[in-house]
Structure 1
Amino acid sequence: MPESATACNCTVCRRYGALWAYDYENEGISFSGSTKIYVRGKAIEFHFCPSCGCVALWRAQGSDEQGRRRIAVNLRLTEPEPIASLPIDHFEGLNTFDDLPRDGRCIKDMWF
């Protein structure tokens, strides 16, 4: 279970309407099955379900200094109840790339 969800206002995340749970591939997050991939720039790839077209996750194209690859799954694809009380972190991905202070909202405040 993630500790929080992240809402980002960058041009891509804003259009997808995703709420992300972050970790490192094969550490806190693993995925299987085929996906369709959209590569944005040289750093990130977005993975979509080939059947329904929903954005499932994003994954860094490269690894960090420790050899780990950053990944995030779209929490909007899960059932609301198990994650309803997770706090939402806001990331200003459009202009400043800053984490914003929590405002007390959680997922249930956006979904219900």
Structure 2
Amino acid sequence: MPDGATACNCTACRRHGALWAYGYEGEVVRTSGATKAYVRGPFLGFHFCPACGVVAYWRSQEPNDEGRLRVGVNLRLTEPGPIAHLPIDHFDGLEKWEDLPQDGKCVRDLWF
């Protein structure tokens, strides 16, 4: 279970309407199944379901200094009940590239 869900306002995340749970590939976050990727610049690959087109996750294209690949899984693909209590973290990926103050909202405030 993630500690929170992140809502980012960058052009890609806002268009997909995703809520992200972050981790590293092959560690806490695991993905499976066929996807089609759209690579955005040299940094991120957005992976979509080839049948319905929904964005499932993004994955960094290059490992970090520790050799790990960062991954963000779209929490909107899960049932809302188990994650309803997760706080929403806001990230300004459009202008400042920084975390924004929490506003006390959680997933249930967006879905219910």
For the aligned pair, the TM-score class normalised by the smaller chain equals: over 0.9
Secondary structure in 2 matching 1:58: strand
Secondary structure in 1 matching 2:56: strand
Number of the residue aligned with 1:29: 29
TM-score (norm 1): 0.99
Q: Give the Cα separation in 2 of the matches to 1:33 and 1:85.
A: 28
RMSD over equivalenced CA pairs, Å: 0.5
- Give the % identical residues: 64
Deviation at 1:32, TM superposition (A): 1.2
Number of the residue aligned with 1:81: 81
Q: Give the Cα separation in 1 of the matches to 2:32 and 2:92.
A: 30
Dislocated runs of 4+, deviation >4 Å: none
Q: Size of the alignment, in residue pairs?
A: 112
Secondary structure in 1 matching 2:66: coil
Number of the residue aligned with 2:42: 42
Structure 1 residue runs of 5 or longer lacking an equivalent are: none
Secondary structure in 2 matching 1:21: strand
Question: Amino acid of the residue matched to residue 19 of structure 1?
Answer: L
Q: Give the Cα separation in 2 of the matches to 1:42 and 1:62.
A: 8
Secondary structure in 1 matching 2:13: helix
